[in-house]
Amino acid sequence: MIVLVTGGARSGKSSFAESWCIKHSDSGSGLYIATAQAFDEEMKERIQHHRGQREGTGFKWTTLEEPLRLPELLSTSGQAGSSSSVVLVDCLTLWLSNVLLSDEEENGPREESRTESSIRRLVEAVSAYSGQLVLVTNEVGSGIVPEYKLGRQYRDLAGRLNQSIAAIADQVFLVTAGIPIELKSREYRL
């Protein structure tokens, strides 16, 4: 089962995703794949706080930090996935920014096609995943148009990534003000 959880910043999407995993895990444990990178003290504290909150649930999380090689990790772990295990990825838009900025640092400004290739590999890995996989992402295109080219590229790529994952997901939840709404069952088809 593939589940996508989306929403704005501080909407409650991560808490909902964690609760979904706890409710749907037969084993009482899960793998938490964190894509954030701690570049400053505030982010280190934020990561520690979230880790402490997860530990307080009584659910046994194994945390794995993977900021860049998410498609490869999911391809490997998805082959061994089972209905009793659950994997939570938090979050896809952080992974996307990591990939986009890493490539820019390494290769300089470039076309979107290399990042789009990374997105395609991720979508393929998610599509082939055989266990329970919950993916958290952000809705970043609901605000103003970014002033800079990189910001516009990121917004557009995030929108395409979210649409691609939503298309293959079994359930898609939008979380606003802590309230989750399942979208796929309400989807209007032309």
d(C-alpha 178, C-alpha 181), whole Å: 10
DSSP H helices, 56-130, are 70-79, 92-107, 113-128
Per-residue pLDDT of the chain (190 residues; tens, 9 = 90+): 999 999 998 999 999 999 999 999 988 899 999 999 888 899 889 888 888 888 888 899 999 999 999 999 999 886 655 444 899 999 999 999 999 998 766 666 655 678 899 999 999 999 999 999 999 999 998 888 899 999 999 999 999 999 999 999 999 999 999 999 999 999 998 9
d(C-alpha 92, C-alpha 55), whole Å: 22
Distances, alpha carbon 50 to alpha carbons 44, 78, 90, in Å? 10, 25, 11
d(C-alpha 121, C-alpha 8), whole Å: 25
Phi first, then psi, for residue 64 (nearest 5°) are -130, 125
Q: Which residue has the tokens 């069952």?
A: 185
β-pairing, 29-34 vs 2-7, is unpaired
d(C-alpha 136, C-alpha 96), whole Å: 12
Instruction: Kindly report the pTM of this predicted structure.
Output: 0.91
Distances, alpha carbon 150 to alpha carbons 35, 110, 112, 113, 146, in Å? 20, 10, 10, 14, 8
| Residues noted as catalytic | 50
Phi first, then psi, for residue 28 (nearest 5°) are 75, 15
Q: Which residue has the tokens 């290399």?
A: 114
Question: Coil, strand, or helix at residue 160?
Answer: helix
d(C-alpha 90, C-alpha 173), whole Å: 14
pLDDT of residue 83: 45
